[in-house]
Structure formats: structure tokens, C-alpha cells
Structure 1
């Protein structure tokens, strides 16, 4: 099948998902996941996506996270970091312990259990943020708390990968230098992004104004080129570039894209005064359309194709998967909500929303499962399917619980 044919099928499924989302009053994300799972199991979509679709889907999540960061105020994000350390810490420890313990009960293999615990540690924040966006809640304190704790969670999870993968695979011993390198790279990335937002973008206003060429050409000049005709291109270029920078430092590119959107201020769009166009509002509308209507959904449909039903195996692990899902659901929600309340100072409605928002599992979970199942054969096929089913149920829980809790949450604060 031609790659463009696959893209066309995915886009058709986006229309179908949007229709059912409207009829059922559920977020489209849930239907995107459902369509992806149905299409791959019917043989309409391939089990192994071509590189073009994989890269297109990754571009989709980059644009989604950039759009969400573009809507957020930098000050709110920075203030939220101080409140979110406990959510990241306890919200990661609980699912790790749950998955590790149950894996030991199921398969009695320490290395396999380590990888299961690691796979269930990090939150798939993109799914949560899009679900909050669809419910009109993306600018509430809980959304910022989820995003900041997820960024901190990513840093911790990368450190755990550095520690546990060599242990589980037997390929190397734990290296203090390796752990320090991971943490140092994380700090360096945020320092660089801060420098870009504080000095490079507003070049004309900072000390960079004395540097030839750079000092005369800030972000505002780039965005205003051609009377604003290249504004969207410039924004997408920034999102992808900072995403690639994040990738080089060990993060998912979506984290970099979110940070890129965060450091772009409204003041950069204050150009062409004689025009009646609000260039900032216009840019947000276009970016949102790209992110949530035609590129971003490809990521979620592709994510749904990860769940392939093989009858006998599926039936044999269903009980273990359901128990793991319930245990992870309870452990994740309670740990994140209690941490949000008692270490972050959020009220109870906000805290429970943060707990529900931390349920998703995607990028890091699949990376760890690939390492354990495909690359090193640590994980059995039964364990792989158990984790895949649990991940799918957790991902479906995110939009459902957010939708259910919205009526109580929306009246708070």
C-alpha cells in the first residue's frame, strides 16, 4: 500500500472519529485511538507503519505540544514547577512499584519486573493535554501542574532508563558518571531554552543588540516578514528545531516543542500597526487547526494501531492485564492527587483532575517495551501483551475520567 493511501485512510478515520465524538459527547482522542485499533486489526492499516507515517505522526505531536505551550503563560509554568515536584516524584514511584510487584507475582523474573516497572513510570502528557483542550480546560492550573510534573517526570524517567536498562540487560553496570550525565544534559537543555527565550528571541532588547547581524534581527523581525505571510512557517520551524534540540538532549521532541511555544511572547506579534489583523490570534487559530484537526490526530490514530489482537494470547493475559490496569489506575490517581494536594497546595478538585490526567502511557512505555521485548528479549510475549493492554486501557481512561470529573472540577477555583 502506498504511504499516501495510508495517510488518506487515517484522515478518513479522523472524520469518523470526530463524528462519533460529536454524537457521544466524548473527546475525539478516545475515538482516534479506537479507530486506529480497529483499522489495524481489520488489516486495513499495516501493523508496521512506514517511516513516512511514523515521522508524520511525530510531527503531529510536536505541533500539538507547541500549540499547547503557545497558549500557556511562561510565568504560570515557572510558578507551577515549585508546586509539581511532589506530583512528579510520588506519581512515578507508585506506578513503578505497582507494575514491578505484579510482574514479580505473574512471572517471577526480576529483570522482566524491572522493565515492566520502568515502562509504567512516565506519563503520556500529550494525551492528557489534548483531552483537557477538548474540554476547554487547558488553561486551568491543573493542566499546567500536569505539564510541569510530566517534564520533571521525564527527567527522572530518563535517569531510571540509564540505571535500569543496563542492569536488566546485563550489558553494563550502573555508572554514577552516566547518571550525572543524564541529569547534566537535562539542566543544560533547560538553560539553553531559557537563553533562547530570554536573549536570542528579543535580541534587540538584550545584550545581544551589540552583536553584529544578530543584534538587528530578533524574532519579531522574522515573524513580520512579508507582512506576516511567513509567521506560521517561522513558528513551525521553531517548534521542530527546539524539538530536535530536546531529542539531542535525550527528551522526546514534544517536550522541546512545548517549551518552544512557552517562550514565544505575544509582544513578538506587535507588528504592521496599520493592519487590522491580530497576528497573534490569527497565528494561534492556524496552529490550533493544524495541531488538532489534520496533523495531530494522525499521532493518536497511529498510537491506536499499537494494540494488535492475537486471540489466544489476548485471552490468556486478559485477567493479568485488567488487574494491572486497576492497580495502576488506583495507584497513579491516588499518588498524584495526594501529592498535588499536600505538596503542591492544589485544592481537591484540581488534585483529582491532576491524578486523572497522569494516567496516560505512551512514548516512554513503548520505548522501554521495545528495548525489553524486541532488542533484548527480556520480556515474554505474554508480558508484552499484558503491558500493551494495560496501556491501552489507561489511555482510554484519560479522556473518560476527565470528561466525568469536569462537571465537579469546572466549578472550582
Structure 2
């Protein structure tokens, strides 16, 4: 029954910490992330990452991205696809160059430096999504550009990872098969989203059981996520696509009002706390310089790279800065890449913990930075509606 005790601590601490964060003028998500650090091995050691935390946090992040898909303005997303592509490309080129350069400067081998550069290319916008949602900006032009860029970023980085592990690592990966799987994923998702999802929702709606529509929506969400993972795409992209598909049906409002209580009451708080549980300060004394330099490079290159991509596609300076800020968090995508690198020998064992800490620091930096740089006019306009 230890997991019940964990659940009590997580739910209580995230609500208290989130409230304190808002009172201090910061997004609630920042307090929730810090709650994980305090509860975890880094400070109190009351909660430890285990199977329960892993499963609940995975469901939490999938529901978070499903909700983001439900609330996404598809017309706005279509209008901003060029900007999303430019932001993703800019947010890959500069981090790759910066990561490679700082790693070589710190004495890592050429192969290890290439891998670190690739790892810094990753983007996970789950934290940005929550922050934008709190600010009522998830559906703004900047918000939809960040979401679109995250999808493009994920595909490019996964392909780059496969190429690198094939050429430099121990795995024999066919690039043709990999690209075919990505293309197949998007074809199947588009067809299923257009035809199968409305049909499934209509079939399940008349069922004389409790919450048939909500159950159907969750089946679609988790099916899309599972299929994404099978095709080598992050599960959160599948969940996001599922949310968009369900949002195009007449059941959108019903699903949206019912999925949020499920997500934010139980699963999403566990996801926020799980990020902080990965932090441990033991044995990091001789790697402080590495952590500081790589974190600075990780933040600046995404901020500038994504910002340049937004600027050249018509966004103003403030909006470009906001979009670059929304791409900073590496989150669970980078953690998965780091684990793959460790397993294949591309990331040295003695640097793994430091890299995880860098990833978490980028995640902690994102919410307050977004709140600071997001265009004030857009926030004010939303507040008056």
C-alpha cells in the first residue's frame, strides 16, 4: 500500500506548491515541478520513482497532450505550418552545433559530442502546454506554432537519432524502414482521424453504460499513442493527434469537460512530480562546470534558434522570443534519448546523471520564462474576453 501513501503526498504537495507559486506570480506548474524535487531523493527522499510513478506519469502526460489537441484551433495550426517548420528547424540546427561545440570543449570524444548535440535538439512541450493553458494562450498564434513545431521536431530528431545510432552506435537500423514507419504513422493517423474516430464515437455513444463517450475518447487517445510508439514516434504526438481528431466531432465539449477532472485530479500531478524525482545531487561535485555550461547552451540555442525561425516567418520580436521559450523544455523526449544513448554506448555512464539534471533544469526554466516573455497585449486581450 506504499503507492497510496505516495499518492497522498503527491496530490497534497502539488496543490499546495501550485497555489504558492501562483501567489508569487509564477505559473502553478513551476511549483508542482519543485514539489517533485522536494519529495524526491534530492531533498526529503519520501517518494521514489517506481512502476506506479512510471505508469501514472505516462498516463498523465498522454492526457495532458490529448487535452492540448482537444483545445487546438485546427485552422490556426494550418495557417502556421510554415512557421512551425521554421521554428523546429531553427531549434534543431543551433542546439546541435552548440551541444557539439561545448562537449568538444569539455573534452568529450567526437562521437559523444555528436550525441550530446543531438540530445539538445529534442523538445517536449508538455510543460509549455500546461503553462500556456494556465495563461489562456494555448490557442493563440504563438501557442499553435509551438505545438506544430514540437511535432516536426520530434520526427526530425527521431530520424537523426536512428541515423546516428546506426552509424556510430551498436544498432543496425535501416533508414528506409525508419522513414517508412514515420510516413505510415502520419497516413494512418490522418485516415483514422478523418474517418474512424467519428465513426467509433458515434457507435459507442448510444451504449447503455456509464460514460460511453468518455471511454471511447480514452480508447482513441491511448490507441493513437500506442501506435505512435510502435512507429517510433513519441506517444505524446499520438495523444495530441487523437485530441485533434476528437475535437472535430460533435462530442468535443462533452469529452473536454470530463477528461480534465480525470487528468488534473490524479494523473497529471504524478507526471509533474516524476520529473523532479530524477534529480539527485550525489557525485555531481566534479561536473558542476559541465552542468552549467550545457544548461546555458541548451537554453540559449533553443531560445535563439526557435526565435529566429519565428522571426523570419513574420512574428514580432516579443512573439518570437515567446515561441523560442516554449521550445526550451527537453522533458521526457530527451530523457528517452539519453537512456538510448547510455544503452548504445554513445553517452558515457558518468555523464548520464548530469545530462538528466540538465534536461530537468530546462524544464524548470521554461514556465517562468514563458510568463515573462509572452506578449503582454495577447494576455490582456485574452483576459478581457
Q: Would you call these one fold, judging by a TM-score over 0.5?
A: yes
C-alpha separation in 1, matches of 2:345 and 2:183: 33
Moved more, 386-395 or 59-68: 386-395
- What's the Cα RMSD here? 2.2
Mapped to 2, the partners of 1:378 and 1:352 lie a distance apart of 32
Q: 1:138 Cα shift?
A: 0.6
Over 3 Å counting, the alpha-carbon distance change for 1:150 and 1:231 in structure 2 is same
Deviation at 1:224, TM superposition (A): 4.5
Structure 2 counterparts to residues 351-366 of structure 1, below 5 A: 351-366=320-335
1:309 to partner: Cα distance: 1.3
Moved over 4 A (4+): none
Spell out the pairing of 1:8-407 with structure 2 (5 A cutoff).
Answer: 8-40=8-40, 41=42, 42-46=44-48, 49-169=49-169, 171=170, 178-203=174-199, 218-226=200-208, 229-265=211-247, 267-269=249-251, 280-310=252-282, 313-342=283-312, 344-373=313-342, 375-406=343-374
- Change in Cα spacing, 1:372 to 1:190, as seen in structure 2 (3 Å) is closer
Would the aligned equivalents of 2:322 and 2:375 in 1 still touch at CA under 8 Å?
no
Alpha-carbon distance between aligned partners in 2 of 1:22 and 1:328, rounded to the nearest angstrom: 27
Query: Structure 1 regions of 5+ residues with no counterpart?
Result: 204-217, 270-279
TM-score computed with the length of structure 2 as normaliser: 0.91
- 2-side partners of 1:78 and 1:247: how far apart? 25
1:158–1:182 CA contact under 8 A, matched in 2? no
Moved more, 100-109 or 8-17: 8-17
The 1:349/1:239 distance shift into structure 2, 3 A limit, reads same
Q: Which residue of 2 is the match for residue 408 of structure 1?
A: 376
Give the stretch that moved more between structures: 92-101 or 179-188: 179-188
- Where 1:410 maps in the other structure, the secondary structure is helix
Question: How far apart are the structure 1 equivalents of 2:341 and 2:45?
Answer: 26
Distance, in Å, in 1 between the alignment partners of 2:17 and 2:379 is 29
Q: Distance in 1 between matches of 2:379 and 2:21?
A: 24
Secondary structure at 1:264's aligned position in 2?
helix
TM-score, normalised on structure 1? 0.85
**Structure 1 residues 38-91: Cα deviation after superposition (integer angstroms, max 9, x where no partner):** 211222112xx2222201110111111001101113333233323321111121
Superposed CA offset, 1:212-255 (max 9, x none)? xxxxxx52242343498322211111111111111111112111
**For residues 146 and 10 of structure 1, what CA distance do their matches in structure 2 show?**
29
Q: Distance in 2 between matches of 1:379 and 1:267?
A: 45
SS of equivalent residue, structure 1 residue 360: coil
Structure 2: 5+ residue runs without aligned partners? none
What's the CA shift for 1:133?
0.6
Q: Could you tell me how far 1:395 is from its partner in structure 2?
A: 1.1
Deviations 1:161-199 (A, max 9, x none): 111123333x256x6xx2222222112111111111222
- Computing the radius of gyration from Cα coordinates, the structure with the larger value is 1
How many residues align structurally?
379
Following superposition, the deviation at residue 388 of structure 1 comes to 2.5
Q: Give the whole-Å Cα distance in 1 for the aligned partners of 2:220 and 2:138.
A: 22
